[in-house]
Amino acid sequence: MGLFLCQMKRLDHCLCPWLFLLVFFLKESQPREILLFPYQPSRSVKLGDRVTLNCNSRSSRGATYEWYQNELNIALMNDPRMIRENNTLKILKTKLYHTGVYQCIETRKGREIQKQNRYVLLNVEGKCNRASITIKPYQGKKYPVGINLTLDCECKSSATKRIRWFRNGVRFKPKKKMITLDGKRLIFNNATYADSGNYTCRVTVDGFHPSWSRKLEFWVGTAPKIIFHKGGYMQLAPKGQKLKFPCRATGIPRPKITWYYMGDKYGPRVLTAKNDSDFRAYGDGSLEMMNYTAEMAFEFVCMARNVMGHAHINVDLSTPVKISVAEDIKAVDGGNLVAPCKALGTPKTESFWTDKKRVYLGNDGRVSSKKNGNLEVDGVRLGDQGRYYCTSARDDPSQDKETGVWLTVYETDTIRIKATHKNVTKAFVGMTITLLCEFESEPKVNITWSRRDMKKLPKRMESYGSSLNIHKVRLSDAGRYYCNGSNGFKSLRTFIDLLVYSSKLYRPSNVTVSEGDSAWLHCAIQADPPRITIAWFKKGQGSKMLDEKRFHIVANGSLHITNVQLGDEGKYFCMTSANKKQKYGTRYLFVREIPKRYTAGHKDFGGRFLVMIFALAIIYTL
């Protein structure tokens, strides 16, 4: 075209070559247009060329177009060099990774939806001096679990290439869905920690001259997070005690736990499991102190690390404050009171007392808080009764503690045994009995039970304060039981002798008497040699003995009941010491009610008769 213009315009001969080069340059700078066909032709372009791919010769009205490179939807690739416009795809500046099979799907909507596929194989030519790897999206070396990643292997060469992938120096054979047809791209959908590592690609040109890329390292996982730790929660840490503190963390990959000690004695350093060390750190994340001393009460650091990052938490070994004081204290009017209070924990903390309004009591009044932590009251008064607080304070207000104490003031501290107390109780084998011990005292009495020849009472004997229940009495239960009572000021001790007998029930005959009469119940003794009857009982009264005022046991074992009442009716049985087993009889004492024998008229006649007798006596005297 340049020569033609030179001839037509008859320009100077020296200007024709320059015009020819100008036209050639304008021609070459225009984008290469490539038309796609139903089958797969091959087209080659140079690295850096501008290329326009046409799905057809002209755009059809109402048709839609979808573009794919190596079966990947270009709309999802977010490549700024690739621009889609109706039936065309423009590549502004070709790169090696633009090489591949391009597919255009044209969809026309009418009575029937028609689709047409067109292809072209685009080769980007360039010299392969060194392969390179790029990762998309680029976020450094660390990626969260579940992200979608792609690795592209590029090499400038127009010759046939064969690409191989390596991970951590070992040949990597991805699955079909993880690699494109030309082998240039690795695809990781929902990446996991197993996909992490050092990746390289090797490009072989024409069967020889392999080119290696540099290593591309990336990690997929989650940063460590400490979810459980324990430290400084001991109620009391005495000298020489072993203490163990666990520390747990989550993360992908599993974090490694390392302990650091920040105290003055050892200085900041890593703690390891040495046999001669005061500390031992184990693989499960726990730290053990072999021999606790007060100087170890400082700060420890639990550090969790993995390739994704690290997390740490400071563990304060200083023991929390625990206030040791009685919740209820007692005093007697006119006496003196000393109530100790100690604040336990490391470092050492002082304690002091406040009144119910939490006002400091001071240390020089009648009611005072002493430096040793005691509450002292000189000459207790009834008005001193109320609530007081034992308090401890540290530099950190969150560690302050207080405990409320109620002071009760009594007029007297006297303790006595009730007059109804009995020192002897009888029982028979197999029965359930109750030993009762009651005290009289204004302050509440705390009662404990013991036995003279026994350190600890068996489980059959249940103590309920003033009563001791003994189930299924045995012969071995006989003995002296002590009842110990204390009201906090004075103590008193008394005893109960328990007599236990083997027993057998004899069946007396039924007896019927009238109300107010006397009755005899006889117990036939069947033993060799014969023995006397020990006791009589009435059904429904348990082990309660009969009233000795109206119920009398004579020498032969018979029971004599005087002034029989309607309530005396019922079943009676006698117990003896001649047999081992108990038997229950079914004989009864029946009581008949006395009918009303006199009327009002009779009463009047009786009165007149007495008047007549009194008159005759007066006449006789005169």
pLDDT at 618 (0 to 100):
59
Confidence of residue 173 (pLDDT cuts 50, 70, 90): confident
Rounded distance between C-alpha atoms, residue 123 and residue 396, angstroms: 73
Overall domain count for the chain = 6
Q: What is the pLDDT of residues 381-408, one digit of tens each?
A: 999 999 999 998 877 777 788 999 999 9
Question: Between 113 and 474, where is the model more confident?
Answer: 474
Rounded distance between C-alpha atoms, residue 332 and residue 381, angstroms: 8
pLDDT at 209 (0 to 100):
66
Sheet with 461-464, strands from edge to edge, namely 433-436, 467-470, 461-464
Q: What is the pLDDT of residues 318-344, one digit of tens each?
A: 667 888 898 899 999 999 999 999 988
pLDDT at 407 (0 to 100):
93
Question: Between 573 and 526, where is the model more confident?
Answer: 573
Question: Between 287 and 580, where is the model more confident?
Answer: 287
Give the helix ranges, DSSP H, for 466-508: none
Residue 6 has pLDDT above 80, yes or no: no
Shared domain for 315 and 240, answered yes or no, is: yes
pLDDT at 543 (0 to 100):
64
Show the tokens assigned to 194.
């197993």
Residue 5 resides in a domain: no
Virtual torsion, Cα 147, 152, 153, 158, nearest 10 deg:
170
Shared domain for 518 and 543, answered yes or no, is: yes
Shared domain for 405 and 334, answered yes or no, is: yes
Residue 566 has pLDDT above 90, yes or no: no
* Bridge partners, 28 (sequence order): none
Cβ neighbours of residue 149 under 8 Å, at least 6 residues apart?
Answer: 135, 136, 137, 143, 187, 188, 191, 195, 218, 220
* Bridge partners, 483 (sequence order): 449, 494
Residue 603 resides in a domain: no
Choose the final residue of a domain: 410, 435, 455: 410
Residue 619 resides in a domain: no
Question: Between 275 and 486, where is the model more confident?
Answer: 486
Shared domain for 403 and 440, answered yes or no, is: no
What CATH number is associated with residue 369?
Answer: 2.60.40.10
One-character DSSP codes across 229-291: E--S--S---TT--EEE-EEEEEESPPEEEEEE-STTT-SEE----TTSSEEE-TTS-EEESS
Cβ neighbours of residue 123 under 8 Å, at least 6 residues apart?
Answer: 42, 43, 44, 45, 99, 158
One-character DSSP codes across 574-590: EEESS-SS------EEE
Percent of the chain with pLDDT over 70: 75
Residue 519 resides in a domain: yes
Residue 547 resides in a domain: yes
Tell me the average pLDDT across 243-252: 84
Cβ neighbours of residue 546 under 8 Å, at least 6 residues apart?
Answer: 536, 537, 538, 559
Tell me the average pLDDT across 141-158: 87
Choose the final residue of a domain: 410, 438, 459: 410
Give CA separation, 454 vs 315, 404, 446, 451, in Å.
50, 39, 21, 5
Please choose, from the candidates 520, 517, 500, the residue with its C-alpha nearest in 3D space to the C-alpha of residue 509. 520
Residue 25 resides in a domain: no
Shared domain for 494 and 511, answered yes or no, is: no
What residues make up the domain containing 492?
A: 416-502
Residue 42 resides in a domain: yes
Mean pLDDT of the chain: 78
Shared domain for 337 and 402, answered yes or no, is: yes
Tell me the average pLDDT across 291-299: 63
Shared domain for 423 and 482, answered yes or no, is: yes
Tell me the average pLDDT across 116-127: 82
The DSSP code for 47 is: T
Contact in structure between 53 and 89 (CB atoms under 8 Å)? yes
Q: Please state whether beta strands 367-369 and 299-306 pair in parallel, antiparallel, or not at all (unpaired).
A: unpaired
- Which range has the worst mean pLDDT, 78-92, 292-306, 316-330? 292-306
Tell me the average pLDDT across 52-79: 86
Most confident of the following: 16-20, 239-243, 401-405: 401-405
Shared domain for 280 and 355, answered yes or no, is: no
Shared domain for 511 and 498, answered yes or no, is: no
Show the tokens assigned to 120.
């072209």
Shared domain for 334 and 301, answered yes or no, is: no
Residue 605 resides in a domain: no
Q: What is the pLDDT of residues 445-468, one digit of tens each?
A: 999 999 988 888 999 999 988 999
Most confident of the following: 4-18, 38-52, 499-513, 602-616: 38-52
Report if pTM > 0.95: no
Residue 421 has pLDDT above 90, yes or no: no
Measured from the Cβ of residue 302, the count of other Cβ atoms closer than 10 Å reads: 26
Residue 224 CA from chain centroid, whole number: 22
Choose the final residue of a domain: 410, 442, 466: 410
Grouping H, G, I as helix, E, B as strand and the rest as coil, residue 19 is helix
Most confident of the following: 130-134, 442-446, 574-578: 442-446
Nearest-5° Cα angle at 297, 294 to 302:
150
pLDDT at 514 (0 to 100):
82
Shared domain for 43 and 70, answered yes or no, is: yes
Shared domain for 102 and 144, answered yes or no, is: no
Please compute Rg for the chain using Cα positions: 55
Confidence of residue 67 (pLDDT cuts 50, 70, 90): very high
Question: Between 32 and 432, where is the model more confident?
Answer: 432
| Three-class HEC string of 134-202 | EEECCECEEEECCCCEEEEEECCCCCCEEEEEEECCEEECCCHHHECCCCCEEEECCCCHHHCEEEEEE
Confidence of residue 196 (pLDDT cuts 50, 70, 90): very high
